[in-house]
């Protein structure tokens, strides 16, 4: 019988670990895994601060990463394996800093840029990590996507379309790689007080619009970064050993 719990320990690799959601993910994972290897794009100061915080809980390493560079991704994965030996889970929390234009306002260059960072960034990671997971007898891959395919908000196409592609690719990985003990799942955040959610609330709409949005959420509150991190932490762990190819929507019921 396939031992699906064999990767319940080891290290966690978090791509995009210094951002609002990624930071919370690292903090949650640190209490459950033997080590954390996270990447950041350009904010070295934030990465150093997070490293110092996590080091009180577990072994930690970090590296700068441009997800548009396949060689850079391969190098980081190799670094993580060399540092910790075994990668029990990999989390893709990277995303492009975007606004919310309508489809008619999006230029092709905008599509190309976001796809290169998000969907193509994820495919590059998948190419690098599947051989590692196969070699060690399994692993858990978790991507942070969007609730938009389930309740589309106007102006969200630039973010939702590439993330929908990531979600579908996770299902394909679950179907094709399950025989090797590899699981792949996604977490779909709703409106969250972190990351792009903070940016949108500060810059895009009036407080009155956000208040009307809050009232549309059945729980009447927006989510926090920890809500997403806990969902990621669960799917990454052996507690979810019989869950694969699924998307956990964390939106306070907004998509209902």
78 and 65 in contact (C-beta within 8 Å)?
no
- Can you tell me the mean pLDDT for 153-171? 92
Q: Classify residue 102 by burial, with Cβ atoms within 10 Å: 0-12, 13-18, 19+.
A: exposed
**What pLDDT score does 113 carry?**
95
| 130 vs 95: which has the higher pLDDT | 130
Interstrand relation of 182-189 and 139-144 (parallel, antiparallel or unpaired): parallel
**What pLDDT score does 21 carry?**
94
**What pLDDT score does 148 carry?**
86
Task: Please write the tens of the pLDDT for every residue from 93-126.
Answer: 998 888 888 999 999 999 999 999 999 999 999 9
**What pLDDT score does 201 carry?**
62
**What pLDDT score does 154 carry?**
78
Architecture of domain 11-250: 3-Layer(aba) Sandwich (3.40)
Encoded tokens for 113 = 């840029």
**What pLDDT score does 19 carry?**
87
- Can you tell me the mean pLDDT for 167-173? 98
* pLDDT band at residue 88 under the 50/70/90 scheme: very high
* pLDDT band at residue 5 under the 50/70/90 scheme: very low
pLDDT reading at 153 higher than 80: no
pLDDT reading at 7 higher than 50: no
pLDDT reading at 23 higher than 90: yes
pLDDT reading at 9 higher than 80: no
Give CB contacts under 8 A, 24+ apart, made by 233-237. Answer: 233/25, 233/28, 233/29, 233/32, 235/140, 235/142, 235/183, 235/185, 235/187, 236/12, 236/29, 236/88, 236/89, 236/91, 236/140, 236/142, 237/8, 237/32, 237/89, 237/140
**What pLDDT score does 127 carry?**
98
DSSP string, the chain: ---TTTTSSSEEEEETTTSHHHHHHHHHHHTTSSEEEEEESS-HHHHHHHHHHHTTTSEEEEEE--TT-HHHHHHHHHHHHHHHS-EEEEEE----------GGG--HHHHHHHHHHTHHHHHHHHHHHHHHHHHHT-EEEEEE--SGGGSPPTT-HHHHHHHHHHHHHHHHHHHHHGGGTEEEEEEEE-SBSSTHHHHHHHHTS-HHHHHHHHHHSTTSS-B-HHHHHHHHHHHHSGGGTT--S-EEEESTTTT-
How far is it, in rounded angstroms, from Cα 159 to Cα 189?
12
**What pLDDT score does 234 carry?**
98
**What pLDDT score does 3 carry?**
45
**What pLDDT score does 219 carry?**
96
pLDDT reading at 4 higher than 70: no
Least confident of 40-44, 89-93, 193-197, 249-253: 193-197
- Can you tell me the mean pLDDT for 207-233? 91
**What pLDDT score does 197 carry?**
60
* pLDDT band at residue 149 under the 50/70/90 scheme: confident
Dihedrals φ, ψ of 244, to 5°? -155, 150
Torsion of CA 98, 161, 236, 12, to 10 degrees: -50
pLDDT reading at 69 higher than 60: yes
How far is it, in rounded angstroms, from Cα 112 to Cα 95?
14
| 212 vs 49: which has the higher pLDDT | 49
């Amino acid at each position: 019988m396939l031992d699906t719990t064999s990767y319940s320990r080891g290290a966690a690799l978090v791509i995009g670990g210094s951002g609002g959601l990624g930071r919370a993910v690292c903090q949650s994972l640190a209490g459950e895994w033997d080590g954390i290897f996270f990447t950041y794009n350009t904010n070295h100061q934030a990465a150093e601060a997070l490293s110092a915080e996590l080091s009180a809980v577990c072994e930690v390493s970090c590296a700068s990463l441009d997800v548009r560079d396949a060689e850079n991704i391969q190098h980081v994965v190799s670094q993580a394996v060399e540092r910790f030996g075994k990668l029990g889970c990999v989390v893709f929390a990277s995303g492009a800093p975007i606004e919310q234009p309508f489809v008619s306002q999006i230029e092709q260059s905008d599509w190309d840029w976001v796809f290169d960072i998000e969907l193509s960034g994820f495919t590059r990671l998948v190419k690098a990590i599947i051989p590692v997971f196969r070699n060690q007898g399994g692993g858990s891959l978790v991507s942070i996507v969007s609730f938009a395919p389930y309740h589309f908000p106007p102006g969200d196409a630039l973010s939702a379309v590439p993330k929908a592609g990531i979600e579908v690719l996770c299902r394909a990985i679950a179907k094709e790689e399950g025989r090797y003990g590899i699981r792949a799942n996604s977490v779909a955040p709703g409106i969250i007080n972190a990351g792009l959610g903070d940016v949108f609330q500060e810059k895009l709409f009036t407080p009155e619009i956000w208040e009307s949005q809050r009232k549309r959420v059945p729980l009447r509150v927006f989510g926090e970064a920890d809500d997403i991190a806990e969902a990621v932490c669960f799917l990454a762990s052996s507690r979810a050993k019989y869950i694969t190819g699924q998307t956990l929507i964390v939106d306070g019921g907004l998509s209902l």
